[in-house]
Structure 1
Amino acid sequence: MPEVHLAGGTCAEALRLAPVAIAMRAQGLVTPVLIAASPEPTAVARTWIACGLAADITLPASAGHSAAIRRYDQLWAARTPAAVVVRGDNLGAALAAYWRRVPIMHMDAGRRSGSLVADDADADRRLLAQVATVHLAAAPLAAMNLLDERVVPGDVLLTGGTAVEGTRLMAGRTKRPAKPRANRVVVAGAGAANEPVRAAMLAIAAQHHDLDVIGGLSMPYPERSRLIAVADVVVTDDVDLAEEALAAGTAVLVPGEGGGLTEAIHAGSARPVDAEAGEIVAAMAELLESRVRRDSLGLGGSPYGDGLAAVRIAQATAALLGHGQFPDPMPARPEAGVAHF
């Protein structure tokens, strides 16, 4: 069967690629090959181990695009795949595949921050859209972004994202603690709003002595997944962390512009708040004091997938290589408040 290489550059990417590899194996039309390629490939490989998988290839590379392109090119010169699956802003793997004339399946395509201030990740995602063969969008708004950027409509497929399946997979393989935590939990992780979030977390911890405040971006899986699942609230403007919290049914508070989480905010699954310490403290206190308000967010679910994205991506990859038909797109969610296309 043709080899399809799944390029995992971060632990978050590894979590989302794992269900795709499992779906490909179940369909039996292609052979998935997991590549752990990052400055810390061992961490990526351990994420797959936590999912019950093993990395087929370990490819240490620095964080720069040039080094990543060189390592992927060396690999694919000797072992050329039939297709490559990349996720998010993994531009190094995509460019190496493009120059080798290998078809590129781009998961989570079309996500844009919406910020007027350009950031490297957004620029990489836009560049990746220029070389991808099939654009696998996680939500209708992401697909609309691609169409607005003049991507050929027939190359865009609304599959949903695999954070839902990845979170479920990790939860099913993670041992639960013998006894519940004594304190309530808040998981915090932020990029642009880092300083206000840090100040707010210190203030809220001082007000609530039964509260553990934990940084969610600095820990490996499955510890990260376990804490997200038991948290009362996740405070973050990081899309990956927010997606995993939404999939786990945990309330999400988004400081700042929240451009990367527009669908979740419109759907009522996540709540935006100004990126000021006082505003964050007030919103946090309101959620912590009201189980009803927390549950109303958590019950909204995730607008980024319906639990079938991995199957669609596996089927689309096989169809691109001449095996079967492309899948039907994920049904859009009218209640999510995003436009149809």
Structure 2
Amino acid sequence: MARIFIVFGTRPEAIKMAPVVKAFVADPAFETIVCVTGQHRSMLDQALELFDIKPDIDLDIMQPGQTLANVTTATLNGLDTLFSENRPDAVLVHGDTTTAMAAALAAFYRQIPVGHVEAGLRTGNLAAPWPEEMNRRFIDMVSRWLFAPTETSAAALQNEGVEDERITVTGNTVIDALLSVSEELRHDPDRTALLDKKFAFLDQQKRLIVVTGHRRENFDGGLERMCHALAQLATRGDVEIVYPVHLNENVQRAASAVLEDTSGIHLIDPQDYLPFVYLMDRADLLISDSGGIQEEAPSLGKPVLVTRDVTERPEAITAGTCRLVGTCTETIVAEAEKLLDDPDEYARVSAITNPYGDGHAAPRIVEAMKNAI
């Protein structure tokens, strides 16, 4: 059996790696060890519970007011000891978090081969997103196996000189996760009824806009401008806005300063993945700077306005399921109203096929690793 360490530390990583964990655990060719860092403690635990994943190792590094340097050094020190004691045949990391970067570095120092799930995403701008663009470039540089979600991300790697034999196009694992959770909701009326009750405050006669925002590059005024756009959209009277506000104090401050007690806008706590999928499915429109939402919403037929100036996920922009609108208040309002007020345009965007995969990314990753090892 090949010993595989799967390392992650945040909720988005947990969601996207859950199908990978389950696929490896089910394959007798591998001894799978799941290690979490706890970079995002409570939100990580929510995802682990939903997907019924019990980590073998929990570094539990989260500290109040932690910096990126704190996360990096705690992860690096913790994993260096573990890798020395367990000597895995390979380490799998996901995406572009500080946990993923530090785990790849720890493996590199121990000369353990790394597999990078969701490789090849690029904006070309180290400041946007920051520090994620640096993280993913570094991880791709030291990884032996690069699991690119799309042909576009594979081409980005090839343009940087990565050999073809190191690249496998798999689709995005978040689609695997989304489809499994959506299927669960469709076949569990009791759970759906509980969610209907949880969100009974929503007016079924109004169109629903679901919002998220957390990117660091938007902390310097961008979030406030987005919030002003939401306040303006709420005055239409025919829409209702739900904004699960990220726990980061910069996000909390911007949302409360602009939107607190605004009619038609509900500022709620961050949601577990299951209720958030429920909200996405009920939504008419999403406004977000989240990478995952750019990938997930098209599978549900939901348009997304991306509140960023650049994105490492150009496939959805090219396909037309997402629109890059930045954080200009007037632009966000104008683009939202185009979709809300033009039924033909809305129907056209909603019908576009999701460019991010078919829900079978995890089995492709397992098969590629089996062939390689």
TM-score band (shorter)? 0.7 to 0.9
Q: Which of 72, 83, 89 in structure 2 is aligned with 1:65?
A: 72
Name the CA distance, whole Å, in 2 between partners of 1:130 and 1:288: 43
Paired residues for 1:29-40 under 5 Å: 29-40=29-40
What is the identity, as a one-letter code, of the residue corresponding to 1:78?
E
Residue 165 (structure 1) aligned with residue 176 (structure 2): yes
2:193 alignment counterpart: 177
Residue 276 (structure 1) aligned with residue 328 (structure 2): yes
Of the structure 1 ranges 210-219 and 70-79, higher mean CA displacement relative to structure 2 is found in 210-219
Q: 1:40 to 1:117 in 2, by over 3 A?
A: closer
Q: Which of 261, 264, 267 in structure 1 is aligned with 2:316?
A: 264
Unaligned runs of 5+ in 2: 63-67, 186-190, 247-269
Name the CA distance, whole Å, in 1 between partners of 2:42 and 2:31: 22
Q: 1:169 to 1:34 in 2, by over 3 A?
A: farther
- CA deviations on 1:168-215 (whole Å, 9 max, x unpaired) are 122234431364743432122233342322111111112235413323
1:317 alignment counterpart: 369
What is the identity, as a one-letter code, of the residue corresponding to 2:327?
A
Q: 1:101 to 1:235 in 2, by over 3 A?
A: same
Unaligned runs of 5+ in 1: 322-341
CA contact (8 A) 1:40 1:60 kept: no
CA contact (8 A) 1:186 1:212 kept: yes
Paired residues for 1:220-235 under 5 Å: 220-235=272-287
Name the CA distance, whole Å, in 1 between partners of 2:355 and 2:106: 32
Of the structure 1 ranges 279-288 and 242-251, higher mean CA displacement relative to structure 2 is found in 242-251
Residue 76 (structure 1) aligned with residue 83 (structure 2): yes
Name the CA distance, whole Å, in 1 between partners of 2:338 and 2:316: 20
Q: Which of 134, 154, 157 in structure 2 is aligned with 1:143?
A: 154
Name the CA distance, whole Å, in 2 between partners of 1:188 and 1:210: 13
Name the CA distance, whole Å, in 1 between partners of 2:208 and 2:6: 34
What is the identity, as a one-letter code, of the residue corresponding to 2:233?
I
2:55 alignment counterpart: 55
CA contact (8 A) 1:97 1:103 kept: yes
Equivalent residue of 2:123, what SS? coil
Residue 196 (structure 1) aligned with residue 219 (structure 2): no
Name the CA distance, whole Å, in 2 between partners of 1:144 and 1:22: 29
Name the CA distance, whole Å, in 1 between partners of 2:367 and 2:31: 13
CA shift for structure 1 position 137: 0.6
CA shift for structure 1 position 292: 4.0
Q: 1:39 to 1:313 in 2, by over 3 A?
A: same
CA contact (8 A) 1:188 1:197 kept: no
Of the structure 1 ranges 208-217 and 154-163, higher mean CA displacement relative to structure 2 is found in 208-217
1:85 alignment counterpart: 92
Equivalent residue of 1:102, what SS? coil
Query: What is the aligned residue count?
Result: 321
What is the identity, as a one-letter code, of the residue corresponding to 1:85?
L
CA shift for structure 1 position 274: 4.8
Q: 1:182 to 1:226 in 2, by over 3 A?
A: same
- CA deviations on 1:15-49 (whole Å, 9 max, x unpaired) are 11111122223333213322221333453233122
CA shift for structure 1 position 237: 2.7
Equivalent residue of 1:67, what SS? helix
- CA deviations on 1:136-174 (whole Å, 9 max, x unpaired) are 111112111111211222111111111111111222344
CA contact (8 A) 1:41 1:59 kept: no
What is the identity, as a one-letter code, of the residue corresponding to 1:276?
C
Name the CA distance, whole Å, in 2 between partners of 1:301 and 1:101: 41
Runs of 4+ displaced beyond 4 Å: 178-181
Q: Which of 227, 243, 262 in structure 2 is aligned with 1:214?
A: 243
Equivalent residue of 1:312, what SS? helix
* TM-score (norm: length of structure 1): 0.86
Name the CA distance, whole Å, in 2 between partners of 1:162 and 1:82: 22
Of the structure 1 ranges 163-172 and 103-112, higher mean CA displacement relative to structure 2 is found in 163-172
Name the CA distance, whole Å, in 1 between partners of 2:298 and 2:114: 28
What is the identity, as a one-letter code, of the residue corresponding to 1:131?
V
1:105 alignment counterpart: 115
Residue 153 (structure 1) aligned with residue 185 (structure 2): no
Name the CA distance, whole Å, in 2 between partners of 1:233 and 1:216: 17
CA shift for structure 1 position 58: 1.3
Name the CA distance, whole Å, in 1 between partners of 2:27 and 2:60: 30
2:265 alignment counterpart: none
Name the CA distance, whole Å, in 2 between partners of 1:150 and 1:176: 48
Q: Percent identity?
A: 27
CA contact (8 A) 2:172 2:356 kept: yes
Equivalent residue of 1:307, what SS? coil
Name the CA distance, whole Å, in 2 between partners of 1:40 and 1:271: 29
Query: What is the Cα-based RMSD across aligned positions, in Å?
Result: 2.2
2:351 alignment counterpart: 299
Name the CA distance, whole Å, in 2 between partners of 1:294 and 1:308: 28
1:25 alignment counterpart: 25
CA contact (8 A) 2:203 2:240 kept: no
